Amino acid sequence: MGIPPFGMFSKVLIANRGEIAVRIAQTLREMGIGSVAVYSTPDSGALHVASADEAYPLEGESAGDTYLRGDKIIEIAVSHGVEAIHPGYGFLSENAEFAQACADAGLTFIGPTPEVIRQMGDKIVAKKVLADAGVPMLPGGSANDASGLKKHASRIGYPAIIKAAAGGGGRGMRIVKKAADLKQAIEAAQREAGAAFADSRVFIEKYIEKARHIEFQIFGDSHGNVVHMFERECSIQRRHQKIIEESPSPGLDPALRKRMGESAVLAAKTLGYSNAGTVEFMLDANGDHYFLEVNTRLQVEHPVTEMTLGQDLVRLQVCVANGAKLPFGQDDLQPRGHAIECRIYAEDARNGFTPSIGMIAHHAAPLGGHGVRVDSGISRGSLVTVHYDAMLAKLVVWAADRPAAVDSMKSALERYAVLGVTTNIEFLRAVVGHSAFAAGHLHTGFLDEHCSALAHSDEEPPPEALIAAAWALAKSQVDRSLGERVTQAVTSPWQEAGPWRSC
């Protein structure tokens, strides 16, 4: 590890796990900043622990007892000379109380201010604030009871969608196609929202069938500078959760891109936004866009933006949190080529995308090459448990244009295999290989329209992936055998290193 620039943080705690914690640690190391990992009991041998310079236990198994315990995390940070905390995504990343607690403890929260997080975390408040500023909104409304929501539904018409006021990840969301189904949908959404977010409030909006889900990466600093970093197409979703993202969107022309980018910047400036965030929109068949929400954090799919712009968004986050100005203006940002990301999940697509648990026998990712990137949180021996999200890794490709990027992703998926748990790799191959995907005819109902049958196909992993996995597994067993012989003869001081990790 090098020496951080004068005035930069010397040590940052990563309040997360999995691939995003590994990815953040990598950038911190490149910047010469010490990294501190925290881990639950099941994660004691996880890759993100080995990737950090120091690692400390959170004592517990569930997310509620570990990665969601802001008090424990702040105590570790203060006790070990940490200056800033990077929350990644999920867990505490959009928790305004945690961001405020960091500030109260003298720690820098690498993200937007607690006030902005709190404001945008309430979808009802967010829509009112940004609608007043002129950001385009879908017809809809909120109410304190079902009768009020019914009046909004009568006004906007069907289909409509019920959403959780404090929601995310597709929870607390129900599509309603006729008035007779409204009451049941409201009650179901309220129950799910209350269980997931301890907040059962919901609102209603007009539902756009076959809409595209387009998000714009925004970035601001504490000096009043705000830019958008162009769009990501996130329309391929299962259960309202993204599984494939790309940039640029095949559905945007330059004029529409400019209009949507201006809406994103307007939202950011209205909020006085600093650090990384995302403004999400729905895009209908007429080319009209409507605000969905602001995600006040780094997104899972940020690598596609990094690969088309040649920027490290985590590095930018750290620098801006440390008080630096953005090193570019809007006109300086010029995307190149096309990037696609596939999320690799431990789940059974043939059985309703149910999570798969177990131990990773081997992780045979495609070898890195021109335009191929794998952000992984697993290695051989990693445990996949019921306690956390089922995402294992992200496969990202870049090429000069979209057809070449699609071909590259097909090839990379054919060479990707995970042994020990069931994954969605074969399902992703089916989606990327579909003619409608190749044509760029994407919308949020894509999987229901085209690929539901493919989830139940009997297709097996391609021979290239199985051969690669078998070869890598055999090699690892030989290496392990040799390593055990060496270990018996030589005792390494690093075996007694405790929470410290070698640089």
Q: Read off the CATH number of the domain in which 154 is found.
A: 3.30.1490.20
Q: Please check whether residues 301 and 382 belong to one and the same domain.
A: yes
CA dihedral 37, 105, 165, 139 (to 10 degrees): -100
Contact predicate 338/396, CB 8 Å: no
H-state helical runs in 54-211: 70-79, 96-104, 114-121, 123-133, 146-156, 182-197
For residue 481, being part of any structural domain is answered with: no
Length of the chain: 503
Distances (CA, A) of 28 to 11, 35, 313, 421: 9, 6, 12, 31
The per-residue pLDDT for 488 is 43
- CB count, 10 Å around CB of 431? 24
Q: Please check whether residues 200 and 218 belong to one and the same domain.
A: no
Q: Please check whether residues 230 and 161 belong to one and the same domain.
A: no
Chain center to CA of 275: 16
For residue 39, being part of any structural domain is answered with: yes
Q: Please check whether residues 300 and 175 belong to one and the same domain.
A: no
Q: Please check whether residues 164 and 301 belong to one and the same domain.
A: no
Q: Which helix (H) or strand (E) holds 280?
A: strand 275-283
For residue 351, being part of any structural domain is answered with: yes
**Least trusted range by pLDDT, from 48-57, 358-367, 433-442:** 358-367
The per-residue pLDDT for 167 is 75
Question: Which residues on neighbouring strands pair with residue 174, listed in sequence order?
Answer: 162
Report pLDDT digits (tens) over 66-114: 999 999 999 999 999 999 999 999 999 999 999 999 999 999 999 999 9
State the average pLDDT for the chain: 90
For residue 479, being part of any structural domain is answered with: no
Separation CA 442–CA 209 (nearest Å): 12
Q: Please check whether residues 422 and 314 belong to one and the same domain.
A: yes
Q: Please check whether residues 266 and 186 belong to one and the same domain.
A: no
For residue 239, being part of any structural domain is answered with: yes
**Least trusted range by pLDDT, from 35-44, 150-159, 464-473:** 464-473
Q: Rounded mean pLDDT of 310-324? A: 98
CA dihedral 139, 145, 146, 149 (to 10 degrees): -10
Taking the CA of residue 86 as centre, how many other CA atoms within 13 Å lie in the half-sphere pointing to its CB?
A: 34
pLDDT band at 477 (very low <50, low <70, confident <90, very high): low
Contact predicate 160/205, CB 8 Å: yes
Pick the closest to residue 143 from 165, 161, 126 (CA basis). 165
Separation CA 186–CA 172 (nearest Å): 9
Q: Please check whether residues 417 and 361 belong to one and the same domain.
A: yes
Separation CA 324–CA 31 (nearest Å): 14
DSSP code per residue over 30-65: HTT-EEEEEE-STTTT-HHHHHSSEEEE---SSGGG
The per-residue pLDDT for 500 is 39
Q: Rounded mean pLDDT of 428-444? A: 96
pLDDT band at 170 (very low <50, low <70, confident <90, very high): confident
Q: Is 205 helix (H, G, I), strand (E, B) or coil?
A: strand
pLDDT at 458 over 60: no
pLDDT band at 474 (very low <50, low <70, confident <90, very high): low
Contact predicate 282/383, CB 8 Å: no
Q: Which domain holds residue 156?
A: 139-206
297 flagged as catalytic: yes
The per-residue pLDDT for 289 is 98
The enclosing domain of 296 has a CATH number of 3.30.470.20
Q: Please check whether residues 264 and 368 belong to one and the same domain.
A: yes
Contact predicate 214/283, CB 8 Å: yes
3-state secondary structure 364-427: ECCCCECCEEEEECCCCCCEECCCCCCEEEEEEEEECCHHHHHHHHHHHHHCCEEECCCCCHHH
pLDDT at 370 over 90: no
pLDDT at 484 over 90: no
Contact predicate 1/503, CB 8 Å: yes
Q: Rounded mean pLDDT of 322-331? A: 97
Question: Which position has the token pair 């802001």?
Answer: 70
Catalytic residue among 171, 257, 297, 501: 297
pLDDT at 56 over 60: yes
Structural domains in the chain (count): 3
pLDDT at 460 over 70: no
| pTM > 0.85 | yes
Separation CA 139–CA 334 (nearest Å): 34
